Amino acid sequence: MPRSFVHEARRPVGRRRDRIKPIIERLAVEHADAKIALDFRNPVELLISVMLSAQTTDVNVNRVTATLFVKYRRPEDYLAVPREELEQDVYATGFFRQKAKSIQGSMRVLLEEFDGEVPRTVDELLRLPGVARKTANVVAAELGNPQGVVVDTHVRRLSQRLGLTRKEDPVKIERDLAKLVPRPDWGRFPHLLIWHGRQVCDARRPRCEDCVLIDLCPSSRVEIDEVVASP
Task: Measure the CA dihedral 86/90/96/99, to 10°.
Answer: -80
User: Nearest Cα to 135, choosing from 51, 191, 194?
Assistant: 51
**Known catalytic membership, residue 152:** yes
- 30 by Cβ neighbours in 10 Å (0-12 / 13-18 / 19+) ranks as middle
Cα 57–chain centre separation: 12
d(CA 29, CA 8): 25
| For ligand SF4, the closer CB: 41 or 204 | 204
Task: Give the DSSP per-residue string, 39-94.
Answer: --SSHHHHHHHHHHTTTS-HHHHHHHHHHHHHH--SHHHHHSS-HHHHHHHTGGGS
d(CA 92, CA 111): 27
Tell the smallest beta-carbon distance from residue 115 to ligand SF4 (Å). 44
| For ligand SF4, the closer CB: 134 or 161 | 161
Which position among 89, 99, 134, 167 bears the catalytic label?
134
Which position among 58, 152, 176, 215 bears the catalytic label?
152
Cα 108–chain centre separation: 26
**Known catalytic membership, residue 134:** yes
What DSSP state is assigned to residue 129?
Answer: T
| For ligand SF4, the closer CB: 24 or 214 | 214
Tell the smallest beta-carbon distance from residue 201 to ligand SF4 (Å). 3
Tell the smallest beta-carbon distance from residue 22 to ligand SF4 (Å). 13
Tell the smallest beta-carbon distance from residue 5 to ligand SF4 (Å). 8
- The size of the chain, in residues, is 231
| For ligand SF4, the closer CB: 122 or 200 | 200
Tell the smallest beta-carbon distance from residue 208 to ligand SF4 (Å). 3
Residue 201 has phi, psi (to 5 degrees) of -95, 65
Q: Which residues bind ligand SF4 (CB under 6 A)?
A: 161-162, 200-201, 206-208, 211, 213-214, 217, 219-220
| For ligand SF4, the closer CB: 181 or 208 | 208
Which residues are known catalytic residues? 134, 152
